[in-house]
Amino acid sequence: MRRLAGTATIGVVLGVLLCGCWLVPVTRTDACVDWVRFQTMQQRFDHAGAVLVGTPLQRDGEIRIYGYQANVHVVEVEKVLKGSLGKGPVRIASMPVTCGKSYPDGDPLDVGGRHLFFLTEQNDGWFTMTPDQGTVPFPPGTPIPFKTG
């Protein structure tokens, strides 16, 4: 009988201790990415999984990456310079900054106009390669700033 009472007491104490864990606030740890800084446009092109000329049309939801929300945009593809993307619209997520707000200076894909996109494929989707070097304005008539072959 003493053995049963001792086991029951240990079970109750463990149950109370484990329940107490849920009462304590849990801090969330998000990834803080140390982004690569490319010195040239050629380096961006060489490291990208896909590169295209296109125009952001509209936002189309969100996706999580590195513990942050990333805005997804529909982009009209004008020309694929690298990778296996087809013509027509493609969904591209704007890579968040991490270590704070997703877009402290605004989402770089919320701007209109023709752009070069340097992309990476992650989580079965396309993302800008880095938060601040994944896209650059590319007005009509501008020469391509890297070698594609």
Residue 63 token pair: 């996706």
d(CA 3, CA 25): 36
The CATH number of whichever domain residue 65 belongs to comes to 2.40.50.120
**Residue 7 domain flag:** no
Task: Please indicate, yes or no, if residue 29 is contained in any of the structural domains.
Answer: no
Indicate the DSSP class of residue 143: P
The boundaries of the domain holding residue 59 are 41-137
What are the helix and strand counts (H, E) for the chain?
2, 6
Query: What pLDDT digit, counting tens, does each position of 9-59 carry?
Result: 554 444 433 444 444 444 445 578 778 899 999 999 999 999 999 999 999
Residues 67-98 pLDDT 10s: 888 999 999 999 999 998 877 799 999 998 88
Count of domains for the chain: 1
Please indicate, yes or no, if residue 66 is contained in any of the structural domains: yes
Question: What is the pTM assigned to this prediction?
Answer: 0.77
Does residue 25 lie within any of the structural domains? no
Burial class (CB in 10 A: 0-12, 13-18, 19+), 32: exposed
Helix (H, G, I), strand (E, B) or coil at 141: coil
Does any domain span residue 16? no
